[in-house]
Structure 1
Amino acid sequence: MSKPKPRSRWSCLRAYLPLLAAPLLMAPKLSAIADTNKVSRVARPATVPFAQSSKEVQSAAPDMTQQLVQIDPLDSPHPIPWNWVMTTHAEVTAKGASGLRYYRSQSLVSPDGQYAAYTRIQMDVQPELYRSRVTSVMFLENLKTGDLRTITASSPLADNPLAANEEADMPGTIAILIPISWSPDGDRILARQFEGLFSTSDASDYAVIWDRKLNRTSTVAPDRSQYSTAVLLGWSRTNPGRVLFRAGELGEENWPLWAVDINGQTIAATEDKPAVFGQRVNNVWAGPQARW
């Protein structure tokens, strides 16, 4: 299993979390921020954190649960349920409550119809957003037998039961794993592992790949020397055995494309385009939470 090296910045930020007041990229409309800052689409992660009060989020909740277009902190084409995260925190804390809340994602069915992949997201809601935590578990269900298996990442903030990780237990961490594509023949699944810290602009993606034939899970990302933030796009069309990211430094307008293989080897992918496969079942992320 390929495991990227932990990023020391997570540990360094631990002592400063209470001082960071603005929620992580909590913008009502990312496109509006991009227009204001005159940055290109790939540079949107460079925007400063957008402050919005819990009261404002709560008042917007009815509209947010009806939106077809979901907000994503990195403007990813495969959004995490960010609306649900922020609305849940606002609604729970407005009642003076705290504790665990759950959400189940839509399913992604393999091209051969044999498997469905979906995610259970858990939010530990605390009165202060920067002390809340979001974790997740991705499930693979055999639709013929009903058997379930879990998929977990080995990235720095992943809540992996097979590896002790103090950074993953820090307050304020966000680690959400969602399935985004099967391979054309259904023998591999690609998932997006989004990681970040509440109240900061530190966030990035990892690719998690499960190989059915080898029964192996790998976590990969572009070479860290090439970027500060990466966004997973899908499988590479030019190099089908690789996954495609856009990645760069915060503040730069033009982020290059990188193709990464299962061992983490990274090559430039200037003319490449992403590909995704599989059928999504159920509605979009919005809606009442699933209680498991």
Structure 2
Amino acid sequence: MLKRLLRSVWFCPEPYLPLLAAALLMAPSSFALASTAASTIARPSPMQYPQSSKEVREAAPEMTPQIAQLGVQIDPLDSPHPIPWNWVLTTHTEVSTKAGSGVRYYRSPSLVSPDGQYAAYSRIKMEVQPDLFRSRVTSVMFLENLRTGDLRTISASSPLADNPFVSNEEADMPGIIAILIPVSWSKEGDRILARQFEGLFSTSDASDYAVVWDRKQNRTTTIAPNRNDYSNAILLGWSRTNPDQVLFRAGELGEENWPLWAVDLDGQTLAAIEDQPLVFGQTITHSWAGPQAHY
């Protein structure tokens, strides 16, 4: 079903962390961290965004494992751009314990473009079932024009993506995780790079795809390393060497050193030698009005 996602434990470069990750998926209540408040999709107030943003951050190229500690945002792939995994685990624990099943929403922080014209954020939806492996997590990413207030949605075309324009029976299966979050704008603010994390609950099936929206061409492209020798890929950011390429680390479970790959928008994949990932834009955590949570 899923290409490259056929292994028995989550990726982890250290031998003790696969056991930890498996425990996180099978018994989330034991490791659940403080819950991040779920939120509605109330439109953010443009007045609360900065007029311009030129923040440049260098994404961490090394995949250093993190132990679940209070206040640490864990991620199934130990990504430098974590999905709200704490919220997923604690939400399942709370809902399944009190109500058995239900639907909850989470809204990500906004990522403002360097020119201050656009903000990107995601609404994540969790359909909770008593069994974690039957629950579902899907998402929608929004782009807001801060001058006009216009909204548009961005969707991936990866194997488990919930794309309204593409019929995909696999995206309707129980147990899927398909989370799209903004990672970086381009330096000029004319493209946005997003992380599409896909996986299955209670399995090691997990990998990243890169989703790029080009403002000038009004085109969305989904890419991943065009290789057959890896089980998991981790999106890092834009290439410092070539701004038109996206950097991934990809490898086999159990291997200590994962190669660095540069992927262009046509999917051409090359080994990245002495390259570094970059991300641009400013993250605004509390930029929207209205209630922060809705159940």
- Give the aligned partner of residue 53 of structure 1: 27
**In structure 2, the residue corresponding to 1:231 is in which secondary structure?**
strand
Task: Work out which of the residue numbers 171, 182, 185 in structure 1 matches 2:174.
Answer: 171
State the distance in 2 between where 1:9 and 1:233 align: 18
The answer to whether 1:153 aligns with 2:148 is no
Change (3 A) 1:54 1:184: closer
- The one-letter code matched in structure 2 to 1:230 is A
In the alignment, is residue 113 of structure 1 matched against residue 116 of structure 2?
Answer: yes
Match of 1:211 among 207, 210, 214: 214
1:234-245 to 2 correspondences below 5 Å: 234-245=237-248
Going from structure 1 to structure 2, the CA distance change for 1:139 and 1:79 (only over 3 Å counts) comes to same
Higher relative contact order, chain-length normalized (CA < 8 Å, sep 6+): 2
CA distance, structure 1, for counterparts of residue 29 and residue 166 of structure 2: 38
- Alignment check: 8 A CA contact 1:45 1:73 kept: no
Preserved CA contact (<8 Å) 1:172 1:197 = yes
Secondary structure in structure 1 of the residue aligned to 2:30? helix
Whichever residue aligns with residue 76 of structure 1, its letter is S
**Secondary structure at the counterpart of residue 88 of structure 2:** helix
Pairwise mapping of residues 1-292 of structure 1 onto structure 2 (< 5 A)?
A: 7=2, 37=15, 49-50=22-23, 53-57=27-31, 60-62=32-34, 67-282=70-285, 290-291=293-294
Alpha carbons of structure 1 residues 290 and 210: separation in structure 2 relative to 1, 3 Å: farther
Which AA in structure 1 matches 2:224? Answer: A
CA distance in 1, matches of 2:243, 2:29: 46
Unaligned runs of 5+ in 2: 38-68
Shift of 1:47: 7.8
Segments of structure 1 that go 5 or more residues without pairing to the other structure are: 1-5, 14-19, 39-43
> Normalized against structure 1, the TM-score is what?
0.81
Contact 1:71 1:83 in 2 (8 A): yes
How far apart are 1:270 and its partner, in Å? 2.3
Q: Which has the higher helix share?
A: 1
Instruction: Write the distance in 2 (CA, Å) between the matches of 1:221 and 1:126.
Output: 31
- Could you tell me how far apart the structure 2 residues matched to 1:89 and 1:8 are? 27
In the superposition, relative to structure 1, how do residues 203 and 55 fare at CA in structure 2: closer, same or farther (>3 Å)?
closer
TM-score normalised per structure 2: 0.80
Whole-angstrom CA distance in 2 between matches of 1:282 and 1:215: 27
How many residue pairs get matched? 260
Find the residue that maps to 1:164 and give its secondary structure. coil
Offset at residue 227 of structure 1 (A): 1.3
- Quote how far apart the aligned CAs of 1:61 are: 4.3
CA-CA distance at 1:165 after TM superposition: 0.5
1:45 and 1:250 in contact (8 A); partners too: no
Corresponding residue for 2:62?
Answer: none
Amino acid at match of 2:84: P
Could you say what the CA RMSD is over the residues aligned between the two structures, in angstroms? Answer: 2.9
